[in-house]
Amino acid sequence: MSLYSFRIYLYGLYFEKGTNIMQCVRKVFFYMAALFFFVAISDQALAAKSTNFYEYSNAKGVTVINYHSFGDYKEIANINITAKLFREQLQMLKDSGYTTITEAQLIAYLQGHGRIPEKSVFLTIDDGYESVYTIAYPILKEMGMQATLFVIVNDVETGLRKGVPMLNWQQIKEMSDSSIIQIGNHTYDLHWRGKNDAPKHEAMILNQTKEGKSLTNDERRRYILEDVTKAHQLIEKHTGKAPTSFAYPYGVYDRVAEQAIKAAGYQIDYSTQGGFNMFGDGTVHIKRIDSSNRVSAQDLKRILEKYQKQAEQHYKNRDIQVEAQVTADKVALKAWLKSDMKNSTLQAQETRFELYKMVKGERQLQRNFGSYLVKASNNTRVMSTEENVTNYEAGGYSVKIIMLKQNGSKEVFWINFNR
């Protein structure tokens, strides 16, 4: 109701036939109170509507499922999965409402700015056996799913691993071109163990070459980097695409191996440690669970449900707390850690606020709201910032709140709003 029409309505009340002055005054006060209440509620509704907590519709955790060989090779019986069981597992994922995401989606999610379906999984395949092309690839294509394949390049070049046929470059390129299979790096020739193939003697953590030559830590760092670079170059040469991801052979690494892989510049690297991966966890040492003939479709379903429950509980128990108020004029934010409200020793080290704008469906960083060091005093344990948004262009925006902890970890929270 406009102010003008409201004024006319009051005149109508005043001159209503048979109405005394006191009755009219009471009516005026009643309608004025109703109007102010309506305006207040409208403002609150507007603010509530424009503040959407981004994570509430995001996955609480992602499980990465890893495969190796498809079929029935006696030489590698412990890592085989039959075509029938592989199909059953993928059908179970579909029937249970899971979405198989791409590696690009996984990376964005782990970096703390990607939104994916609440029940998401990611598929990987290690080594590069020929059965990936003859069995897994057609089934993935049929199911409309995708995976990343990590190839041991030297074994691809020789054509065999443990007596089992490997993929050739033509097959690898065909799968890469289809976008169903993305190709990652699994080293050129560092997927072996010393001491007669004994555990804890993996090449990635062994200070010697395959020929038994001793290496210092600096020499091993260069040795790993040269091997990984050689594999990288050959994958790019034969597929036309540079690999962006790396999987540690046997899932094993140490400080020297980590430094070499970091120097190689990969966006994401994978371990074989079991478990789920959380929003904003980062893209180093991604946890994966192995699947084979020893895991039925129902077994896999139970594992995924267990990890999903754990991720949801972990999400509920997160340390970071955020309070937001969004109006037509400004965005006001407060962030703190629950642990810092209880303990005298501060866990928080720094809080950052970053502004993103939605451009063609992608979040693009615009600028920092601010970065604040957390001080060890009662009145600075809650970090706050305000942003005037009156001059913002129309569109969708997001604020990313990042709280860095003293132990080097971080917690991330997102808030969306519209202008």
40 in the same domain as 84: no
Q: What local confidence, expressed as pLDDT, does residue 378 receive?
A: 53
Lowest-confidence segment of 64-78, 208-222, 265-279, 392-406 by average pLDDT: 392-406
User: 63: domain CATH number?
Assistant: 3.20.20.370
Q: What local confidence, expressed as pLDDT, does residue 419 receive?
A: 80
Q: What is the pLDDT of residues 238-254, one digit of tens each?
A: 999 999 999 999 999 99
Question: Per DSSP, what are the bridge partners of residue 404?
Answer: 350, 410
Residue 268 pLDDT > 70, yes or no? yes
Q: What local confidence, expressed as pLDDT, does residue 160 receive?
A: 97
331 in the same domain as 310: no
Q: What is the pLDDT of residues 163-192, one digit of tens each?
A: 999 999 999 999 999 989 999 999 999 999
User: 407: domain CATH number?
Assistant: 2.60.40.380
Over residues 125-148, the mean pLDDT reads 98
270 in the same domain as 291: yes
Tokens of 389: 């948004």
Residue 142 pLDDT > 90, yes or no? yes
Angle at which helices 255-264 and 217-239 cross, to 10°? 40
Domain housing 89: 57-316
Angstrom distance (rounded) from CA 352 to CA 112: 13
Could you give the number of structural domains in the chain? 3
145: left (phi over 0), alpha (psi -120 to 50) or beta: beta
88 in the same domain as 24: no
Residue 49 pLDDT > 70, yes or no? no
The fraction of the chain above a pLDDT of 90, given in percent, is: 56
Q: What is the pLDDT of residues 354-370, one digit of tens each?
A: 888 888 767 788 888 76
pTM over 0.95: no
231 in the same domain as 166: yes
331 in the same domain as 308: no
Q: What local confidence, expressed as pLDDT, does residue 390 receive?
A: 87
Last residue within a domain, chosen from 271, 296, 316: 316
- Res. 8 pLDDT band, cuts 50 70 90: very low
Over residues 91-110, the mean pLDDT reads 95
